[in-house]
Amino acid sequence: MRVDAPVAPPAQHWLRDSLRRLFARPRLVLALFAVPVGVLAAGVVSWAIDWRLGVDSAVYRSGAVALLTGEPLYDHMSLSAEPPWARLPFTYPPTGALLFIPLALFATQISWGVLGALSVLALALVVRVAIQNVPSRPTWMTPARTTVAVTVLALGLEPVWRTLLLGQINIILMALVVVDVLLLKRSRYLGGVLVGVAAVVKLTPLIFVPHLWLTGRRKDAVTAVATFGLLQLLIFAIIPHDFTRFWSVAVTNPERTGPTFWAGNQSLDGLMLRLTDLAPWALGAAIAIGAVLAVPAVLLVRRYHRAGQPLTALLVTAFFGILLSPVSWSHHYVWVVPLVVLLLSRLPDRLPDGWDRVRALSGIGAVVLVFASCVLLIMRTSDPNRPAGEKPELEWTPPEVLLGSAYLLVPLVAGVIVLTRLRRR
């Protein structure tokens, strides 16, 4: 017997009821908060012993410090507040530096711990909202226990632990989008705001503006664009030089993002760069392929939305956005966590025996295997004797290309399977 997911109440009531049910189980509360507390403690310890943790969070914090002190964000390839082990360019919009200001209150490693702790809590929120938005689920998939279990086990997935280790903000941005799209869909004033806020930190969440439009939330789509635009006007008023330099130079400067042909870039552009030996037309070819994929993506989003499956529709947009973006590092694939929730919800109450059990677990097993295997890291460092500066991805054999494209093949293969089944029906 399966359980139909209840219709989500208004956001404030949903949050209150969820917290009430969670705190009624002290052991679950302890299990849920042990990880973020541990991450925060690790940040304090790493600060005390000068352990090098949080390369990207160090850049975030340095951008905030630069904004507060008047240092230009994009005139140089590093910022003065960056530690010697994190001398990287600030690649984010200037509005991102504005939202990173709270990190400037802490030392570099402690800011990593704070961001990591918030990321783990945001991950739990994503899991809980995803559970609320599956069409049905097996009886053993209770919201509180599943939230804690999936959150803890998801730490073993490479996009998740790499996001935490680097001090990236991917999970928090995913949480903003998930809450906006799935939880604030009936909010009169807040719908679209969080998508706009996420987009001013990294531009890629702008893909969810057409998602809001396609799912009938046109007012929220306009609100998202307005939020994005108003924050751009605010930062222009504060630092017009950085604003102009970002949109005219830095946003298209490949030197600030690093080599995009690396195996870690699991976007269509990264794939085409590897397949074409860095041909100058690789990005154009990737955009053309993306335009072709946009047609079934739009159809699937509308179909799943009309069928009352908002989580599935959201995942279609999320993975399409990852494929379409010129740069999608492996840690951007944190969207695999709500995908795992969706696949769990489709399991039966009792697993069958024999071959039927293998078939039932094949989908979720394959996804977890790909994203927990660290295959991209292995492909990049498989030959320890390779001289520095070489480009092994450009010499891959066809089997190596498949292994080195494992992440981006997951949404592509899933799309083919879904479209094939729909056509048969």
- Summarised one tens digit per residue, pLDDT across range 402-414 is 999 999 999 999 9
Tokens of 182: 């799935």
Q: How many CB atoms lie within 10 A of CB 386?
A: 12
Measure the CA–CA gap between 377 and 373, rounded to whole angstroms: 9
Please name the helix (run of DSSP H) or strand (run of DSSP E) that holds residue 157, with its range, or none.
none
Q: Where does residue 25 rank: exposed (0-12), middle (13-18), buried (19+ CB within 10 A)?
A: middle
Give the model's pLDDT for residue 186.
Answer: 78
Residue 89, by phi and psi: left (phi above 0), alpha (psi -120 to 50) or beta? beta
Give the model's pLDDT for residue 156.
Answer: 95
Measure the CA–CA gap between 143 and 140, rounded to whole angstroms: 9
Measure the CA–CA gap between 353 and 365, rounded to whole angstroms: 16
pLDDT tens for 262-307 read: 889 999 999 999 999 999 999 999 999 999 999 999 999 999 999 9
The position carrying tokens 């017997």 is 1
Give the model's pLDDT for residue 301.
Answer: 96
Which backbone phi and psi does 136 adopt, to 5 degrees?
-155, 170
Give the model's pLDDT for residue 51.
Answer: 87
CB 163 within 8 A of CB 334: yes
pLDDT tens, residue order, the chain (425 aa): 566 666 555 665 655 566 566 555 667 667 778 889 999 999 999 999 888 888 999 999 999 999 999 999 999 999 999 999 989 999 999 999 999 999 999 999 999 999 999 999 999 999 999 999 999 899 889 888 899 999 999 999 999 999 999 999 999 999 999 999 999 887 788 899 999 999 999 999 999 999 999 999 999 999 999 999 999 999 999 999 999 999 998 888 877 888 888 889 999 999 999 999 999 999 999 999 999 999 999 999 999 999 999 999 999 999 999 999 999 999 999 999 999 999 999 988 887 766 666 677 888 899 999 999 988 888 766 554 555 456 788 888 898 899 999 999 999 999 998 888 888 77
Measure the CA–CA gap between 101 and 68, rounded to whole angstroms: 8
Tokens of 295: 């047609």
Tokens of 329: 């590092």
In sequence order, the 6+-apart residues with CB closer than 8 A to the CB of 301 are 211, 214, 215, 313, 316, 317
Give the model's pLDDT for residue 152.
Answer: 93
Which backbone phi and psi does 373 adopt, to 5 degrees?
-80, -15
Give the model's pLDDT for residue 2.
Answer: 65
Give the model's pLDDT for residue 161.
Answer: 96
CB 176 within 8 A of CB 194: yes
The two counts, helices (H) then strands (E), for the chain are 20, 2
CB 220 within 8 A of CB 212: yes
Give the model's pLDDT for residue 9.
Answer: 59
CB 174 within 8 A of CB 334: yes
